[in-house]
Structure 1
Amino acid sequence: MGQNVVAFPEPARRPRRWLRWTMAAFALVALVAGALVLYFSPVLAVDRVEVDGTRLVDRADVEERLRPLHGVPLPQVGRGRVQDLAGDLPGVESLDMIAAPPTGLQVTVHERRPVAAHVSDGTARVLMDDGAVLSGVDPRVFEGQTPVPVAPGVLHADERTRAAVAAVVDALPSALRERVEEVRAAGPDSVELRLEDGPSVQWGGTDQPRVKAAVVESLLGQGEESRAGVEELDVSVPDRPVTR
């Protein structure tokens, strides 16, 4: 009796493991090579840097600081590099950047807040919230919200004094801030407020701003007869205010 033999097709051979690894290695090398080409390629060298966000800070100063980025391949430029180049300019708090491929860069400046200013001959010198001073600012940028007036001497004072004045003004309640005619300072612990239609206030240093403000507002809230003859209010030690 004859035997019938059924022939089944042989399973397809799996690709050898070494072949798969070789193909993966070639793909990885190609990927790395492509990345290196892009990273160092002069074809992607930055040829324009656009700066926005400046209102008080001089845009030209920022652009000048960022000039070293021209000619650098775009993939090599990061936020840290931009910050290192221009982050220490007076009035600059931080900078953000986005790439504008293939060869452009968009930088946005985030400015610090202005707290006081001295306006003379159509230009303003502005005291920022960190004590830095900006010169040559057009007063029109404040649009009716001019910072508290400050004596010129403060703007020429040392860094600690300027920072103290900025902190004092920044901590004032809005109602009291609006009454300040001028801020003076002989030092970081000797800030003085000259008020409109009121006594001068020896504020002292930056400590206990809320308590000091409450004492000043309490006196100003009294009738004119109660504060008649008071030319100076010393709240440098707010628990023991002195009138003169």
Structure 2
Amino acid sequence: MATTEPVIQVKDLTARYGDDTILDHVSFEVQEGEIFIILGGSGCGKSTLLKHVIGLMHPYSGEVLVEGEDIVQCGEIRFREILKKFGVLFQSGALFGSMTLAENILLPVEANTDLPKEAMETLIRMKLRLVHLAGYENHLPSELSGGMKKRAALARAMALNPRILFFDEPSAGLDPVSAAELDQLILKINRSLGTTMVIVTHDLASIFAVAQRVIMLDKRAKGIIAEGDPVHLRDHHPDPLVRQFFNREAEEKNG
């Protein structure tokens, strides 16, 4: 990973729903080319934090900097330019069911580029081949398995060659084999393209398979209670709640 300025800097972010504070003065950084995971128990604010980092929600207070620019204060026109650096894989995949995979991938390309038709068709084939869906251009989402839908949604998220990919619970709804295949694809893209990745998940297998660094949120603390390598946190963190989170799979099997 590069040692330059962080790609993402979150500074003293406070998030509220009405009078209810969800996150209180949260700060962290994501380095270029890093696979960074946001994790924690149910209701701790993982998805809320992700929405703030992407710009879907504005914080009550604090800053969110992307390559040094504050996306909260930059203005609508500049924010739209910054958004082109992002690719987002939503939990549901969010593919349009009435459109083929090619048509789904075309949406961001047509909206943001002036590429000729032939170049767009080539781009679609490249993106589908990257996610191991070569030849599926004319298939509808309903004709695909759950894992294939997630990979198709990833192809669309990568349509504009984003600097940063965001994932919201990417393994949700997948069987263990499909989830593991998606993890391997995430690693492949990160290693081959150097794409920075920010992932929200509670799936232990995925966390240990792909994470280079994690932050753990806690509902009661309304913020970060642990940060670092997940294996080190599992084995050595002084807070028993943190160790329990990372060891829960073994406890469930033994229970």
| Greater fraction of residues in helix | 2
Query: Higher relative contact order at CA 8 Å, sep ≥6: structure 1 or structure 2?
Result: 2
TM category (shorter chain) comes to under 0.3
How high is the TM-score relative to the length of structure 2? 0.21
How high is the TM-score relative to the length of structure 1? 0.22
